[in-house]
Chains A and B, each alone.
Chain A
Amino acid sequence: MIAVVDYHKGNLKSVERGLIGVGADARITDDPDVIRKARAIVLPGVGAFTDAANAMRELNQMDLLRVRIAEGVPFLGICLGLHLLCAGGEEHAQGKPTPGLGVIPGIVKALPKVDADGNAYKIPHVGWNSIEIKLQGSPLLKGIEDGEHFYFTHSYVAPDSFATIATTTHSMTFPSVVQWRQSCFGVQFHPEKSSDAGAQVLRNFVEFAHEV
């Protein structure tokens, strides 16, 4: 069973149905016991970093997810779910960044409204953008071509790190796919809203979860 972690910030049905649509036994849950026993974990993205991180702490999910990721459970963070893998985030933070799961070093920051040359960009970054694959061979990107388009909607981005395996460019180039060790992944785009290419990413994750 794949646990779709619910931290009470919005509708997760499209993620659950996206996983079921590619053959997974997926279930939305906020129950630490269910998350503890799940074969794989998906952390979807709804809301803002600070609100989500606080809710996850109150629901006793934060430490549990840290343990499960360290154990090597197949894990996929989507959008804000990728951000939450990082050490901290500035979105809605009071003063210093709100702590995240700390799997990936660095702080999640707002996308700049102008690029390095001073050109203006529309923020939030909403719509279909392409990914540039930096590191071939990730099981998550099996069958995905360099330059494939996915649906993005966000105003904040994860920091570049050793975990970056694909990037996307808007007002700056940011990590759009990350992988930590063998089995922990994050995507900035929404695979559940990205038509066939998105379904391929979800299928890859589900197949990976059943192989390990």
Chain B
Amino acid sequence: MLTKRVIPCMDVTDGRVVKGVNFVNLRDAGDPIELAQRYDEQKADEVIFLDITATSDDRATTVELASRASEELHLPYTVGGGFRSVADIRRMIAAGADKVSVNSAAVKDPTLITQAAEAFGTQAIIVAIDAKQRADNPNKWEVYLAGGRTPTGIDAVEWAAEAAKRGAGEILLTSMDRDGTRDGFDCALTRAVARAVDIPVIASGGVGKLEHFAEGIIDGEADAVLAASVFHFGELTIRQVKEYMRSQGIPVRL
């Protein structure tokens, strides 16, 4: 049986992990590869490197990171952030990335999803969606760009369905309301998207404790759960999370 996945996400700029990482025994706490190898030891199912600056200047550094990762990591990895064209995506896939995650560029030009899926396969294309609950309707969510700063007027559930139809292999869904709160995933949002698409949904934003991971899968109906700071600060290990998920009847790899 296909297992549910636990995915640590690392914010990277200029080839270095930026958010504070408080991990014991790391030779180089800023090295995304070394951190990813630690997560591999803890049974992470894959990792995501999110290039949070992604100006044209540091794309080269990120391509270099992807290239190193393809040589030194023994698990699948995704690179996200800053892709504007199929050519950008091609460079990252050629460097060895298993998948890329596209966000703003896909909203601005949805044909990018189809072009990339045709060139590299649907399994290689993740569409990332940042969604915020509408003030006028708690059962609707709006797509935001630029890290939650720019509203688009687009309905998040409809956009997820369109992205899937256009060839996305997975949806990485972040609740902007929950991100950083540690209150748990927005399970209503996650469930609404999961039911609207026939591709895997990765729940993101809001994890603070063990129970939240199982909620994302059971209540949110997600296929994978993503977290960053609870792992980076060593509050929870991935193994702990997976053992808890298994105790709740969720199939995981341990």
Closest Cβ of chain A to B94, distance in Å, is 6
Contact present for B74 and A194 (CB under 8 Å): yes
Between-chain CB contacts (< 8 Å), 30 pairs:
A10-B93, A11-B70, A11-B93, A11-B94, A11-B95, A13-B70, A13-B96, A14-B73, A17-B70, A17-B71, A18-B74, A120-B198, A126-B123, A126-B169, A127-B223, A128-B2, A128-B253, A129-B3, A130-B3, A149-B253, A151-B75, A153-B123, A155-B123, A170-B2, A193-B74, A193-B75, A195-B75, A196-B74, A198-B74, A199-B74
Say yes or no for A124: interface residue by CB 8 A criterion.
yes
20 new A-B contacts at CB < 8 Å, known A11-B95, A120-B198, A196-B74: A10-B94, A11-B94, A13-B67, A13-B71, A14-B73, A18-B74, A124-B123, A126-B169, A126-B200, A127-B2, A128-B2, A129-B2, A130-B3, A149-B3, A153-B76, A154-B123, A170-B2, A193-B74, A193-B76, A195-B40
Closest Cβ of chain B to A7, distance in Å, is 15
Say yes or no for B207: interface residue by CB 8 A criterion.
no
Chain A residues within 8 Å of B135, by CB: none
Please pick, from B96, B123, B169, the residue contacting A11 in the complex, using a CB distance under 8 A.
B96
The listed residue with most B CB atoms (<10 A of its CB), out of A120, A122, A124, A127, is A127
Chain A residues within 8 Å of B221, by CB: none
- Give the distance in Å from the alpha carbon of A17 to the alpha carbon of B170 in the complex: 27
Closest Cβ of chain A to B216, distance in Å, is 16
Q: Mark B111-147, 1 if CB is under 8 A from A, else 0.
A: 0000000000111000000000000000000000000
Task: Closest B residue to A120 by CB, please name it.
Answer: B198
Say yes or no for B87: interface residue by CB 8 A criterion.
no
Q: Please report which residues of chain A, range 103-153, place their CB below 8 angstroms from some CB of chain B when the two chains form the complex.
A: 113, 120, 122, 124-130, 149, 151, 153
- Give the distance in Å from the alpha carbon of A130 to the alpha carbon of B199 in the complex: 20
Place the interface of chain A in its size category: 20 to 34
Say yes or no for B58: interface residue by CB 8 A criterion.
no
Closest Cβ of chain B to A204, distance in Å, is 15
Closest Cβ of chain A to B242, distance in Å, is 11
- Give the distance in Å from the alpha carbon of A151 to the alpha carbon of B67 in the complex: 20
Contact present for A195 and B169 (CB under 8 Å): no
Chain B residues within 8 Å of A113, by CB: 198
Q: Mark B84-112, 1 if CB is under 8 A from A, else 0.
A: 00000000011110100000000000000
Contact present for A14 and B3 (CB under 8 Å): no
- Give the distance in Å from the alpha carbon of A10 to the alpha carbon of B97 in the complex: 11
Closest Cβ of chain B to A57, distance in Å, is 22
Chain A residues within 8 Å of B72, by CB: 17
Chain B residues within 8 Å of A13, by CB: 67, 70-71, 96
Chain B residues within 8 Å of A195, by CB: 40, 43, 74-75
Q: Please report which residues of chain B, range 1-44, place their CB below 8 angstroms from some CB of chain A when the two chains form the complex.
A: 1-3, 5, 40, 43
Task: Closest A residue to B67 by CB, please name it.
Answer: A13
Contact present for A127 and B70 (CB under 8 Å): no
| 7 pairs of A and B residues whose beta carbons are closest in the complex | A149-B253, A128-B253, A124-B123, A11-B96, A17-B71, A128-B3, A14-B70
- Give the distance in Å from the alpha carbon of A129 to the alpha carbon of B253 in the complex: 8
Task: Closest B residue to A198 by CB, please name it.
Answer: B74
Say yes or no for A169: interface residue by CB 8 A criterion.
yes
Say yes or no for B45: interface residue by CB 8 A criterion.
yes
